[in-house]
Every structure is written in structure tokens, then in C-alpha cells.
Chain A
Amino acid sequence: MENLQEKILQADSLEALEKVRVELFGKKGLLAVEFAKLKDVPGPEKKAFAEGLNETKAKLQAAFDERYEALKANEIESMLKSEAIDVSLYSTLAAKGALHPVMETMDKIIDYFVALNFAVESGPMVEDDFHNFEALNLPKSHPARDMQDTFYFNDGSLLRTHTSPVQIRTMMTTKPPIRMIAPGTVFRRDYDLTHTPMFHQVEGLVVEEKGKVSFANLKAILTDFLQYMFGNVDVRFRPSFFPFTEPSAEVDISCIFCAGNGCRVCSGTGWLEVLGCGIVDPNVFKAVGYEEVSGYAFGLGVERFAMLMHKIPDLRSLFEGDIRLLEQFR
């Protein structure tokens, strides 16, 4: 009996175990031979003999089952093992492309204002003098036109120098109230380390009835917006001048490179200029035929935001399709 059990345990494969099974439990196996002896056992001993034999069979069966499970598990394990791969070889296969950091920054900006119930508006890149300058309180002789170097066409049209003409177009086709942003491509005739002839702006405009929109409102939304974009920064408003707003301000954030302590990026001032804004000048409303209204407007350069947020050192590299730059934004 112990001998037989040993045999089961020694079977080292499912095939060997199968042989043992036939030898023990088969039709002509050892157990069958033993059970055949039952008929020759005298009556009074028959019961005990049969019980003993059944007990042996049950024990052997249990041993067999256990061994079978073990061998089966081994077999699956070795099959799995044979399929093993070094998964770490494959991490370079993830092949997603990437959005352009300027466009992604623009998306982030748009998301904010759309969430605040602003509409997105657009206008043509080729503009006329009226929409780009005149209606924005920049008559031909205005000294502020010095600030903008413009691309002109032979027929007197021009490439818009800012997204502000979209404000004019929207106001001329829509009745107040207005809550809009105009993200878009703009052009200045400037090409050096820190200027490209084309870049992107997002412009915002809110118009409500007279007396409703104040400078304090502008301060509230822009402070919140800049903290949404740049995290926990201080926001500073400085009075400034734009022909199309009055009062006007430039908005700075505390330098995100040195936490406001002063570094090369902020020229030691601790502040970075990021936005221009103001209360819409009455002359602008006059140009579009609005009366008894009040409003604010703001505008920002998307490249500057992207460069600050992602610490991109070179403006011109943004327009070269350089995959070495782009793949970092996967």
C-alpha cells in the first residue's frame, strides 16, 4: 500500500501519472485484481476485506487527485513561463503625438472663459483700417500707431495687428449685452530674438448697460484668471495707456521663476507683465453706434503665457515644427 502511494508521488509528469493510473485503477490494474479476490474471501471476512480494500482505494484516489492537481498547475506554470517577455522593452512603443504648447495654452485660456459663459468669436486676418485702427480710437495720425508696425497690402488692406477688430465686428453685428473672447492669429512687422511676425492673442470684451461694468469687475476676473493659469501668484495692476480703453492697466504676476525675489527673467523686478486691460473708451462705443453702455476689455499674448508656463526659452522655436520641442508635450 505504501509502495503504491509512493508510486503516485513519484510520478513527475502528467504522462507518468497516467501510467500509474492505468496500473492502479485500470480495468486490469492492481485494484481490480484485488477486488477480484473478494469473491474467494470466505463469508464472515468478506465485509472486513471489502472495507479495507475500499479504504485503500479512497486513499490512493485522494493521493492521485492531489498529485494530478499539482502536476497540472506545474504544467500551466511552465507554459506561461515559456511565453514570458521583458515588458520593459516595450515602453518606447507608446506613440502619441502632441498638441502645440501655444495651442494648448490657448485652449486652457478659452476653457476658462467659456466656463464663465463667454462666447468665442472670430474675424478675418486681412482687415481694413477702420476695424483695426480707426474704430479703436486710433486715428491715422495717432502717436500710438507708432507702437504697432503693420503689414500692408497693395490695396490698402492690412494684416490685423491685434485681435481687437473682432470686438468691433462683433459689436457691429450684435446687440449688447456682450460677453466674448476672440482668440486668434495676429501680425506685426517685427522679426528678431523676441519678436515673430506672427503670434497669437486672446482678447476679451464685456458690454452691459451703462454704470454696470467697473474697473473693480475687471480686477476680480483677471486676478482669478491669472491664478487659474499660473497657480498661486500675486497679481499687480499698474495704470497704463491704450487708445481703446480708459482707465487702462497693465497686469503683472509675481515672477514664477524666482517667486518675486528678482531674477534674470523678471529683470530683477520680481514681476512679469502678462496682460493689458481697461474700461472701454467711449469713442470705441461711439464708432460702433452703442449708446448708454459700459464695458471692459482685455488682451494677452498666448506665446508669452506658453513660454512662461512651460519655461520655453526661445520664441522662434515655437514656429519651426521642431519635434524635439513638441515631443516633450506628449
Chain B
Amino acid sequence: MIVTRSWLNEFIDLSDVSNEKLYETFNSIGLEVDSIKTIEIPQKVVIGKILSCEKHPDADKLNVCQIDVGSGTRQIVCGAANVVNAEYVAVATIGAVLPGDFEIKHAKLRGVESEGMVCSATELGLPPLGEGIMILDESIGELVVGKEFGEYEKIADTIIEIELTANRGDCLSIYGIARDLSVALEKDIKPFDYKQEERMKLGIAREAEIHTSGEMEADLRYKLASIEEMQSSFIVALRLALVDIQTEGLLSSMLSYAIHATGVILRAYDSECFRNEEGKIVVRPTAIRKGIIEVRGDKSSYGIVGVNQLKETIANDDTKQVLFEASYINPERLVDAVYQSDMNKDELYYKTSRGSSPDLSFGLVYLACLMDKNTQINCYEGSLDVHVQREKNILRVNVHEINDIIGQEIEINRIVSILKHLGFDINAIGDHVITAAVPMFRHDIVNIQDIAEEIVRIVGINHIKAKPLAFVEKNRLNDTTNRYKYKKTLKNRAVGVGFFENVSYVFSEKSVLERYGFITVEESLELTNPIVEELNTLRSTILVNLLAAVKRNVSYTKKLIPLFEIGAVFDAQRQQKEVISFVFTGYTGSENVSNSGKPKLIDFAAFIQKIGSVVGAFELVPCTFHNGLLHPYQSADILVDGKVCGFVSKLHPTVQQSYGIPDTFVAEVDLDALLPKHTNARAISRYQGVYKDLSIVIDQNISYYEVAKALGTLDLPMLKDSYPVDIYVDEKLGDKKSLTIRFFIQSMEKTLEEGDIETVMSEILETLKVACKAELR
């Protein structure tokens, strides 16, 4: 919503209110100022009166004008075609400096002296106002030849753009904003008095009648007028341009101007549309559904109140007889009804859906007053009316309750005064209870908290003293809080081993997920309105997003790219879960003097060590996961507490190639599996233990996992630990491999003897012989 200072001034006296005060007041009452700008007209641009205008002897398109500029008559050559119709114009005299540092000097145009320039709107920094120069009229004030153009308050205006919140339909007009301002500034609204001269004393009833059908929910008022000669008004054109409203034709601009000024929805019909066979104008407002009132003639339907108007019925500048319509309909009723049906909405619907002004006569009178100044208009006496009796919303307001909501004592007198100024009808019931009848233009006010809001914004939040809330302490460390804390721990560990935290969109590209064999969300649960193709589904893995980030970093010439992300992924049923994903590309460490600038590339062991430092202990078993990112011979399931909860792999070489990135490892683990568990301490032996190595020969295709499983079946209290330390293959071994396992043996009760150790070792060997067909090397 854009307003101008001089336009507001029509309704409220702002002569002693500075722009700073205005800006501050708007913000403090909840009318957020988006921008505020004052038009600065250069000096030495004055009102000139064209005394004569003749064709330039040597140039078709130029005119030579004699113009009175107050201090004398100047000869000025003008190139604008419309200068021939002009009487009063804005003249930049010698010495004036126009925007763009353009100084006006003596000039000779095709041999003719020119002492100044007749200005167009844009040449003075005003918005464009059509072709040619500005033709001024008295709508900006009395035209005094020689007066500085910038001294007219309606020209050197201040333009204020207000970002209105959705509930404030009442402020979608200059008048509405002036009314809110009047409460905050404690100033009265200027009375608007205009007595329309009804030249033609014909009553409307002779020409037109109205017949409603169904339950009328809209207020309607029709005025009939014949229009003879329409003239433009400079101020109408200027202000509409300043508040960024485009119109077509003079009648349309008058209507838009009156709507913007008063907030009343006004339309103009060509009365011929409504004329029936008997020659009478018949308007038939017809309720077709709750909230939907059609405006019909005898022949057809011409529009819906508050929503649209059939194009062919719109009166234009050539229309001889115009039927003006002012309407009001409750926005909530209307919006509900419109939402349920699909109908064309014109630009006025924005206002009606948020609440237009119900003061129909004000809108029509304002329009009549405006047109009277510029047009030969003859109005028929009287109007056709539909008026709906609406019950006023009356709220019972307990002042203590208001003060509880605000947290500060506001006196009842102050509250009453504010509400009265805002248009409420107030009745006192007791010492601290009042009833407040809500004005119709404030349909947004329905309960006591709405009233409190009005008080808060007029009193000003700055005047409310901050007061800490006293509350009862409680243990609020719930599961979500603890989970959040654990995630933070995981993140800090990841950062500690060099990973950077990534945040990517929870979206992915369906075709990419499918290409790599990941689950995708079922079609019936899929996104209906994705924003772009690349983000057209919910992701089922973070890895694809991480690889895209790796690719970008490679293009930024990064050689060491460790990224992780904790985030949501979705399965085919669109169930959400959280995973932690890692990707590591390129070097294991920085390039430096200790590796002569050639760090090792990341490999399986180094990657496992890094992610192990983050997620804690896990087991790796041959991979059961299947997706296109995995390297079939360098991938593993990750087991925590014996349960598969993720995978780790070298990136498949073809994927690596298609992304154009160096050696890369990836891993993804369910976060739920990593949540910390309770631990009970085991007893620690006081006796010395021994390490023993055992080298066995087994089939090459037996993984250590099988060996470890076999060892897991042993019931040997003295066997405390075992792990592989060497693997060896050569031709002599054929399709076998040699595996060395290190065992740690220790007793809880005594110092080990040679015999104890031998017993343990031989039982291990026997077991491995049976389970893995192992032989001693």
C-alpha cells in the first residue's frame, strides 16, 4: 500500500508532523514502512504560462513558445507535440540543474534562441505521466506564474510504501491509513464535506430499478449519471503514478483514484447493458450461493460482487450514461465462498478479500466530487440501494484481562479513548468492564486479545516495560534434547578428524536416485509441485547430495574434501529417519613438507579410522547393501551391536568418473543405532597377560569375519582379545592365504603358566580347523 503525504493531508492535518515522526508513528502502530522518499524538484523550475506557440520555421517537430515565467517572457523551443494544447507548464529556466546533472543554458535550436525548457514529468524526477510535457491544472493548487514548482506540496510530495499485514484491510486506502494515524497522533480526521450540485433534477427511479433475489449479503448502492465531457486532472494522473496504479482512460483513473482514497469498491457499468426491452435499467442482484452475489440485468449476468465484472459492461470514456456501483461484502464470507469455487478475480478482489470500506456513500460522494471538478457530469437524484442489516460484534472487555495480556497497568480511560478513536462504540458496565462494539471495517477484531493488540499498538510497545516471567523449574531434558546433544557430540568428533559439516536440501532428483539404485518415494506419496527438476523428490540418501558438493569443491581446485552431514532421509513410504553420511575425496591430509607435498590418497583403512573416530566401535562384514555407488569389492556393512546399520564403500569407479572426481570413499549410518548406551564396567585382571600370534592357512575366499565368528563361539575365559595382524599370499599357497591373528590371554585368578597358554592356543587352532578348514602354517 502506497500513500503520499499530501494525499493523507486531505484527511488529516499533517502540517506539524515531520516525515521522521510519520515514519516512526507508522512503524510503532504496526504499519511497517518499507520505504519513504521525498520528491525533490530542482530549483529554478517555475510555473510558466504559454502566451503563444508557433511552428519552428526550420523544424517540423519543434514549436517556438513565448512563455511568461513571472520574471518576464521567455522564448523557448519545445519538441513535445502536446505543447500546442498547453496553457500552464513547468519551465526549467536558465541555471536550473535537472536530475542527471543537466544544467539549463542559453541555446540555439536550428537558429532559434531558446531560454529554458518546458519539462516532462521524468525530466524532473517524477514518474512517467504519458507522452510529452506536463500540462498543469489547478488540481495541484492555484497556478501562480513564476512560482517555484517544488513549492507545491502536492508535487514535492513524500511517497511512503507501507507493508500491510494481511488483517488490515481497513488500511488499504488513504482514508483508512489517515484514520489509524489520527488515533496515534491524537488528531481529528478532517471533515469531508461536499454538496453535490444535482443539476439535472431527474430522479433515478424514472430510469432505473433494482430487484434482489435470495439472501442479500452485500451492501450495494447504484448512482446513475450522464457524462458529457471528460477532462484529465493532473493530480489524479500524478498520484496514481506515484502509488503505482495503472489505468486505461480517464473514467478508469477517476474510479481507481476514488477507490485508493476511500477504500470503497466502485465500479462503472455502461447503463445500456441493464436496459431491458421496455427501455428501463433493471439491476438484479441475485444470491446464487452463500457469499456469492451476482449482478444481473434482465438478459445476463454482468459480474459478481467483490470478485469481478464482465469486461463488455465496463464503462469507458465514450460511455454516455454510466451506472456507478459501490459495494461491500463481508470478506470472510466472500473468501470462503470464492475459495470453494474457481472463478475469475479482478484486481479489486485483493481489497474485497481483505475487507473494503463499508461506507458506500463516502466512496460515491468522493468520486462525484472528483468528477465534478473535471467533467460535465449530471447525476440523477437518489440511488438504488441494497442495505443489509448486520448485527454488530459486541465484545465484553475486562480491563484487568487486557492488562494481564499486556503485562502492564493501562488505565481504563486510556483504553476507552483509544477504542473510541478507532471507531468502536463503548459502553461502561462497571469499574473495569466495558462493552466495545466493533466497527464494520474492522472485521479482523473478534476477541479480547484483538482488543489488547489495538491497545498495545497505539500505546506503543516501547512504552511497555519488559518484565521477566517467573516460572516453576522442571527437568526438561527430554529425549529430543538429549538426542540433540548427542548429535552435537558426533559433529564435534567429525570436525576433530577433519570433516566439514555440510547442509543440503532434503530434496533430490528422482532419476538420479533411480540411476544409482536407491529407494524412491512411491508415486502416490510423491511431491506434487516440486520447484525444479533437480529437487523433485525427497531424498533417500544424503550421499548423492554430498557427491554433488564434492564435485563443486573439485571444480574449486580443492584436493582434500572431507564432508559429513546429519540429516533426514525418507523411504518409499515417506517415513523419515536420520542418518549420518560421510564422504572423503582426495588426499588423506594436507600437502606439507613432511610428505613433500604429496600426501597419500584416501584408502579404505584411513577412511575407516576416520569414521570410527566419529561413530565409535563397529564391525565390518561383507556388504549386503546394493546401490550403484558401491565398489563391489571394497564395501562393507557396518554392524553396531550385531545389527547392520549402514554401509561404507569406495565409490564405484564409473560413478567417480561420471562425477569427474578423484578417489572417494562414502559411508552412511542410521543415527538411531549410534545413540549412546549404558555401560557397566567389567572386572580388570590384576595378573600379567601375554600376547600370542597364530598363523594359519585358509581358503582365500574365507573372510576374517568367518574366522572371527568361529572364535566368537569359543568359551575361553582367558581369551581376552583377538585381532588380525597380517595377511600374506604367494604362489606357493595356491588359492589359500596365510592369516596371522594376535591373541591376548590373561587369567582373572592367577599368573599364567606355560600349560594354560598352550591349552588356550590349541583349542583355538582346533576350532579354526573345524570351522574354517584352517591349517597351521
Contacts and interface: CB of A to CB of B under 8 A. Distances in A.
A26 interface: no
B592 A239 contact: no
A297 interface: no
A239 B454 CA distance: 9
Given A215-B405, A239-B457, A154 B449 contact: no
B758 to A, nearest CB: 47
Contacts of B150: none
A148 to B, nearest CB: 11
Main secondary structure of the interface of B (DSSP, over half): mixed
Interface in A116-160: 117-122, 124-126, 140-144, 146-147, 151-155, 157
B600 interface: no
B471 interface: yes
Nearest to A86: B593
B435 to A, nearest CB: 19
* Interface size class of chain B, counting residues whose CB lies under 8 Å from the partner chain: 35 or more
Interface in B693-707: none
Interface string A50-91: 000000000000000000000000000000000000000110
A106 to B, nearest CB: 10
B478 A120 contact: yes
Given A249-B461, A267-B35, A279 B405 contact: yes
A126 B575 CA distance: 9
Nearest to B28: A238
Interface string A193-221: 00011100000001010111111110111
Interface stretch (A1-9, A11-19, A35-43, A93-101): A93-101
Interface string A274-298: 0000010110000000000010000
A220 B468 contact: yes
A110 B408 CA distance: 29
A122 B531 CA distance: 26
Given A154-B526, A248-B453, 7 more contacts: A99-B492, A100-B501, A103-B503, A141-B335, A238-B27, A246-B452, A247-B457
A95 B594 CA distance: 14
Given A126-B576, A198-B507, A246-B449, A215 B456 contact: yes
A321 interface: yes
A214 B531 contact: no
Nearest to A281: B449
A240 interface: yes
Contact of A221 (B469, B525, B552): B469
Interface string B233-250: 000000000000000000
Interface in A134-192: 140-144, 146-147, 151-155, 157, 177, 179-180, 183, 185, 187, 189-191
B165 A241 contact: yes
Nearest to A89: B593
Interface stretch (B118-126, B214-222, B560-568): B560-568
B165 A240 contact: yes
9 contacts: A89-B593, A97-B495, A157-B574, A198-B505, A238-B28, A240-B32, A247-B449, A248-B453, A321-B550
A277 to B, nearest CB: 11
B471 A177 contact: yes
A120 B503 contact: no
Contact of B497 (A97, A143, A241): A97
Q: Which of B407, B474, B478, B556 has the largest count of A CB atoms less than 10 A from its CB?
A: B407
Contact of A117 (B476, B505, B567): B476
B500 A97 contact: yes
A23 interface: no
Given A125-B506, A144-B166, A321-B549, A103 B527 contact: no
Nearest to A96: B495
A125 B168 CA distance: 31
B494 interface: yes
Contact of A239 (B28, B336, B524, B535): B28
A323 interface: yes
B166 A107 contact: no
A45 interface: no
B339 A140 contact: yes
B500 A326 contact: yes
A287 to B, nearest CB: 14
A197 B339 contact: no
B166 to A, nearest CB: 4
B32 A238 contact: yes
Contacts of B713: none
Contact of B405 (A97, A119, A124, A214): A214
Given A124-B576, A155-B524, A214-B404, A95 B498 contact: yes
Nearest to A208: B471
A300 to B, nearest CB: 17
A236 B529 CA distance: 38
B528 interface: yes
Given A96-B495, A154-B524, A321 B500 contact: yes
A246 B165 CA distance: 13
